[in-house]
Each structure stands twice: as C-alpha cells, then as structure tokens.
C-alpha cells in the first residue's frame, strides 16, 4: 500500500450503533470547536527545539533486543541521534531529559479505526494515549480537515491515513442512518466508485462484505488502473485467496479466515450466498442483527470443519503474497463475549457521557436474544479466532494491530493497548506484539518514516515507566510521548487530557441526531 507520510461476524457490527450515535451526533458537534478553542492553543508543536532523551532503554520496534542506557536526540521532527549515552556528546543548547529507568518505543500505530467526534476530543486522544499514527477505515470530510490542521500545527493529533466511504453491494449492511456509503450494483458502478474516491482524496478504497463478485473484480481492476490501494473486508462471496491474488492489501477482521480454512467451505458458501438483507429496513442495527442471526450458524459450521492442512496452505499463500490480516480481536471479543465487557473503565471519561451510556443498549440490540446454546457456540467461535491469530503469525502472515475503534466500549487510542493484550492472550509474545503495532503496521501502511526508533525516522515516540516486554500491559504506563518531534511530558499530558475530559463533558448530541440514534438502535422487534 502506498501511504502518505504527510499525512455475528461482527464486521464492524457494533459500530452500526456507535456510528449512529458517535458518527452523526458527534460529527455534528465537531464544527463548533474552533482552531483556538479549548485544547488547541496548547497543541501548537514545538518540534523545532532539539531534545536529547538520555539513559533510556530503547526497544526499537524491529524485534532486536532492548538497548540499555541509550540517548535519542530529536530535532526538527526527526531522530537525529541515537547511541549509547556514555559515548554521546550533546552540543550547547540541546535540552536534556533524563529517562533513567524508563523505556522508549516507537509511537504505536492503530491500523483499523473509525474516528468521529468533536475536534476538541477525538484527534488528541490518539497521541495522548501513545498512538501517533492511525488508519481510518471510513473516510469523511472531517478527517481530511483534521489532517490539514494537524499538519498546520493548530490541532494535536496523529498521522492520518484516510480511507474512502465504504464501497458495498446492494443492499448494503448499512442504511442511511449512519452516514455516507457507496452501494454498487455492477462492475460499471464499482469502477465509477473507485475513480470518485480517488478524486476526493482517499488514500485507499475500502471494500465491504456484500460486494458481488463482478463488482469486486471491477474494484480490483480499476484500483490498479488508478494506482490506489484497495482493502477492507473480504466480501462474503469471495475466497480469501482470491482476494489476495487480486491484490487486496489487507484483510480486516477474521471472518473470511473461518470459511477459507474449513472443510465445509463449499457448503457454507452456498448458504452464505442465500443470506438476505432487507433493503427496506431503515436501521443499520436492525440489518446487522438480522445478518448476525443468519450468519452465526454458518460460522459455527465452518469452525466445526476446521482443516489444519487447508489452513496452513491458505496462510502460506497469504504470507507469500504479502497480504496482511488485521485481526481486530477487540471488536470480536465485545460482540462474542458480551458478558465480559467492563462495567466501567477509566478512559471512558474522555468521551461524552451520553455516548458511553448508550453502549449497553446498542450492544443488546445487536447480540440480544441468544439462547444459552448460541452463546456457547459464539464463545467457541471467538476461541477459534484466537487460534487463527496464533497460526497466522506462525505461518509468517503480517498482523498489524487494529481495534475497530468507533464501536462501543473502545476509546480512541486507549483501545489499542487492550488489543495488544488480546494478541498476547492469543499466543504472541510481547516483542511480537510490539512489532505488530509499530514496524509491521508501518510497513503494511506503506509508511517508511515511522514504526522504528532509528536515525532519520520521524520522532513519533512513546516513553514508558515499565518494561512492556515483561508485561504488555505496561504500554499503558505512559511517562510521556513525542508527537512529530514535540515532547509532551507527564504533567503536560495530564493537563491536555483534562482539557479533553472537559470538552467531552460539554458535548451534547443535537436533537435531530438523537432521534436518528433512536431510529437506528433497532431495539424493537428483535428476538
């Protein structure tokens, strides 16, 4: 994928509700925040000042062993020096920050997110949580505006890769209640969609679940012609190996893996082709709930037919072709283990209370009505997804870390730390997981300037109070962050987070968007 450095399957299912609330209502409030509003005066970068971080243990993201007692020099937004502290002399005027006992890693990269909300809240949450690059999977005009302001130094935020609106078949899993998406009925529609989103400035085309085979091949061909990457869901009617051969750069989520690794694939695919979405249903939540009810039994049949030899052949093919898989265990876990979602988390205070309070009802609208037997099967499906992650990694398939933030119970930036813990739980080591969220993610996104700590790279760095190789949860113990060369130490970070919290507490959903959320929740009429 060509990146721009300047800049229930559960297929994003829960965001069918979250996007109604967060996407419609929060985007409505975004325009009220101005460039000199709360939190923005403090975001003007001081990246021109040279800073030396001394006596720190560097975990560079490459997989190399930690380097102890190192000095990292940052100037002009770049790493200009890197070496043992004992042999590194500093010229006059360089500010020195003693990080004895601390750990320095590359800024984390979030490979799958959906960012909607006030610009006094959402953009800055990413870097303040240590996430300095994001790939947004449903591009909207506000994302391009945020990126422009971040580059201009008037808004604190990450490097941003921005996708197209989703390109789906007819009828889509999405209704009009969640904002713009592009439905295509045939090859001609698909080619027009690719040309349109490139003209609008998207960094890639986001393909979706209900695309027909004809439309999917047309997207692939036109994307090559227009020199724009395409990625996203592997459509229901396309085999994952076919998607890889067509040039799909990343496969999002683990749905397609269940079918492609099953001895029952042919039978399941015939049944999947018969799944229907009600084009007249105005509620995305209702469409998704119906789809879950139809698809979960098929996933269970696929899991019961898991064929290790077939799986390994598929994984080798993905690895050999360079196709990456973004597991998004975070959203799978929410939808498939709903009894284990937290009742409260500290970082929820950085989002509007009315949004957080909507999550339980939205989750119930999507997954409610499961019998005890269905719940046990869905839990087993999640355990199988964990196995697939482990085996994908063992086969050499690149696994960039992504969360599907934008769905309920996931807070921008903070959610990625939870995803890292889930990857360790699935069987990867702490070092492998760190690499998935730094170097491997950067390579997948086509970003040469980030992802590792080395001279000449962009100064996007995270400083931790404890060793993440001993416990991946230590990535949450943030001492400070370097965002495009700007050092945000602990006290400043806490002050900026307090500004975000205040802005979130003052954000109110416009009345018309509250009504849209109520229509979209689909709480009535579900089993």
More confident residue, 49 or 351: 351
pLDDT digits (tens, 9 = 90+) for 458-473: 999 999 999 999 999 9
d(CA 55, CA 515): 55
pLDDT digits (tens, 9 = 90+) for 38-59: 333 333 335 468 999 999 999 9
d(CA 66, CA 60): 7
pTM: 0.89
pLDDT digits (tens, 9 = 90+) for 3-14: 444 333 333 334
pLDDT digits (tens, 9 = 90+) for 476-507: 999 999 999 999 999 999 999 999 999 999 99
Summary mean pLDDT of the chain: 87
d(CA 519, CA 527): 17
CA dihedral of residues 271, 221, 255, 258 (deg, nearest 10): 70
208 with 234: CB under 8 angstroms? no
314 with 363: CB under 8 angstroms? no
Q: What does the pLDDT read at residue 420? A: 98
Closest CA to 74 of 100, 97, 99, 42: 97
d(CA 254, CA 329): 8
Q: What does the pLDDT read at residue 295? A: 86
C-alpha atoms less than 13 angstroms from C-alpha of 488 in its C-beta half-sphere: 29
What kind of fold does domain 15-521 have according to CATH?
Answer: TIM Barrel (3.20.20)
- Reported confidence tier of residue 277, pLDDT bands at 50, 70, 90: confident
List the chain domain ranges. Answer: 15-521
Question: What does each C-alpha distance from 389 to 269, 310, 415 come to in angstroms?
Answer: 22, 15, 18
d(CA 111, CA 518): 30
Share of the chain above pLDDT 90, in %: 74
Q: State mean pLDDT over 119-133.
A: 97
Does position 212 have pLDDT exceeding 90, yes or no?
yes
């Amino acid at each position: 994928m060509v990146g721009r450095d300047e800049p229930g399957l559960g297929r994003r299912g829960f965001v069918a509700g979250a996007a109604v609330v967060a996407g419609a209502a929060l985007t409505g409030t975004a325009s009220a925040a101005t460039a000199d509003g709360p939190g923005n005066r403090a975001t003007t970068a001081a990246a021109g000042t040279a800073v030396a971080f001394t006596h720190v243990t560097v975990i560079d993201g490459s997989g190399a062993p930690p380097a102890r007692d190192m000095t990292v020099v940052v100037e002009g937004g770049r790493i200009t020096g890197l070496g043992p502290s004992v042999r590194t002399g500093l010229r006059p005027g360089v500010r020195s920050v003693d990080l004895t006992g601390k750990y320095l890693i590359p800024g984390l990269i979030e490979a799958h997110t959906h960012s909607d909300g006030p610009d006094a809240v959402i953009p800055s949450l990413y870097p303040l949580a240590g996430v300095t690059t994001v790939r947004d999977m449903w591009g909207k005009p506000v994302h391009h505006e945020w990126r422009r302001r971040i580059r201009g130094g008037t808004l604190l935020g990450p490097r941003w890769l921005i996708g197209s609106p989703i390109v789906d078949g007819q009828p889509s899993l999405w209704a009009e209640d969640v904002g713009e998406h592009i439905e295509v009925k045939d090859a001609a529609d698909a080619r027009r969609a690719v040309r349109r989103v490139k003209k609008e400035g998207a960094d890639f085309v986001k393909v979706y679940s209900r695309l027909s085979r004809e439309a999917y091949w047309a997207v692939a061909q036109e994307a090559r012609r227009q020199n724009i990457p395409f990625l996203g869901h592997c459509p229901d009617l396309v085999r994952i190996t076919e998607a890889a051969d067509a040039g799909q750069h990343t496969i999002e989520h683990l749905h397609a893996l269940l079918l492609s690794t099953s001895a029952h694939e042919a039978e399941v695919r015939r049944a999947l082709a018969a799944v229907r979405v009600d084009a007249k249903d105005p509620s995305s939540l209702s469409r998704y709930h119906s789809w879950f009810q139809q698809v979960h039994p098929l996933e269970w049949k696929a899991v019961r037919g898991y064929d290790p030899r077939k799986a390994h052949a598929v994984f080798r093919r993905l690895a050999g072709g360079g196709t990456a898989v973004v597991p998004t265990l975070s959203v799978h876990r929410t939808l498939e283990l709903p009894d284990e979602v937290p009742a409260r988390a500290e970082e929820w205070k950085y989002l509007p209370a009315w949004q957080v309070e909507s999550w339980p009802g939205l989750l119930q609208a999507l997954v409610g009505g499961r019998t005890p037997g269905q719940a046990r099967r869905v839990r087993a499906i999640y355990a199988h997804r964990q196995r697939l992650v482990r085996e994908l990694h063992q086969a050499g398939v690149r696994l960039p870390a992504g969360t599907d933030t934008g769905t309920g119970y996931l807070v921008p930036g903070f959610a990625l730390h939870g995803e890292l813990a889930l990857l360790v739980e699935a069987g990867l080591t702490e070092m492998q997981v760190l690499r998935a969220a730094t170097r491997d993610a950067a390579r997948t996104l086509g970003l040469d300037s980030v992802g590792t700590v080395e001279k000449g790279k962009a100064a996007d760095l995270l400083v931790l109070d404890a060793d993440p190789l001993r416990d991946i949860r230590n990535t949450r113990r943030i001492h400070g962050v370097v965002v495009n060369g700007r050092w945000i130490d602990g006290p400043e970070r806490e002050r900026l987070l307090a500004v975000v919290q205040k802005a979130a507490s003052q954000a109110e959903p416009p009345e018309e968007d509250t009504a849209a959320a109520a229509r979209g929740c689909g709480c009535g009429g579900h089993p």
